[in-house]
Amino acid sequence: MNPGNFLMISDLGETLPKVLSDAATLKLDRMQRRDALLGQSIGIFFEHPSTRTRIASEVAVAELGAHPVTLRGEEVGIGKREDPADVARVLSRYVTLVAMRVRSHETLRSIAQYATVPVVNLLSDRSHPCQALADLQTIAEHRSLPGTRLAYVGDGNNVAHSLLLGAAMTGMHITIAVPDDFRPAPDILQSASRLAAEHDGEIALTNDPRAAADGADVVYTDVWTSMGLEEERQHRLSAFAGYEVTEEMFDLADSKAIFMHCLPAHRGEEVAAEMLDHPRSVVFDQAENRLHAFKALILALLEKQ
């Protein structure tokens, strides 16, 4: 297994502040490292449909001088047409890094176990660490991360997992407002609590979204029904009644608070339509920062090789 893998945001360890700093610098001039990866090829693999992730990753690779090689899940058939170990070994002979958006986190682990090049998680059912990097970069554009009060309202999904870990690593105070049946995974909560203790952060859970939003510096939400869970949609709509982020709820936050959503958004479900266009919405800054954060990440991982 390559030590430069990035499957969870916690894999960065003490490198996280530098990656965030580099992402901010790269945003100032998108072409400043245009030859950094000249002559290299980066594999980008998608089992899930993608808009922001695909465009951001392909553009990031190209703007660093490398060639993005994009593959769809049905073209490879990991675990069906070909064994993960064989796919990993073959890709390692062709490209200098593999970035993957997969249905199951176990697929990532299988590829990472046998690959000799860094493997990056573009999204799995367990975590979304590249999104969390962009989120932290976005928050840092408005305030210092340590001590920032982040209220995440909604499903304890992959985005919540990565936010918990990222917030804990940067000394933030994060509250997850979530129904009991949709809480984040216990092992993620345990890891986040340990990291928070190490970095003077705080972790809290509540069933009251308004209490979470009260006085928060950041109010964040995500879809209630993630890809692959569509058959649960009606049940989830009922379970999350009262968790929609509205202007009324946002007004409970600090007067300078920002609103965040990783997109795509289901307007009128987890978020009121007007919140995406709110003067203090940074949703589209988040989307842009996927590009800069990914650049900083792959540069950091490849510099370790």
Nearest to 12 by CA among 169, 191, 189, 141: 169
Is there a catalytic annotation at residue 292? no
Is there a catalytic annotation at residue 214? no
Q: 97: Cβ–Cβ under 8 A, 6 or more apart, which residues?
A: 42, 43, 117, 118, 119, 120, 298, 301, 302
Catalytic residue among 11, 109, 217, 262: 262
Consecutive H or E run containing 203: strand 202-206
Is there a catalytic annotation at residue 262? yes
For residues 55-61, average pLDDT: 98
pLDDT one-digit tens code per residue, 172-191 = 999 999 999 999 999 999 99
Catalytic residue among 109, 161, 236, 290: 290
Fold match between domain 9-128+290-303 and domain 142-281: yes
pLDDT one-digit tens code per residue, 200-251 = 999 999 999 999 999 999 999 999 988 777 888 899 999 999 999 999 999 9
Catalytic residue among 109, 128, 161, 173: 128
What pLDDT shows up at residue 49? 83
pTM summary value? 0.96
For residues 146-155, average pLDDT: 99
Separation between Cα atoms, residue 29 and residue 289, nearest integer Å: 13
For residues 298-303, average pLDDT: 96
Assigned fold of 142-281: Rossmann fold (3.40.50)
Question: CB of 279 within 8 A of CB of 259?
Answer: no
Cα 303 off chain centre by: 22
Is there a catalytic annotation at residue 52? no
Q: What CA–CA distances, in Å, run from 53 to 46, 48, 79?
A: 10, 10, 23
Domain 9-128+290-303 coded CATH 1.10.645.10? no
Each domain of the chain, given as residue ranges in start order, spans 9-128+290-303, 142-281
Catalytic residue among 131, 135, 149, 155: 131
For residues 96-102, average pLDDT: 98
pLDDT at 1 over 70: no
Separation between Cα atoms, residue 222 and residue 107, nearest integer Å: 24
Cis peptide upstream of residue 279 (ω within 30 degrees of 0): no
Amino acid at the residue 45: F
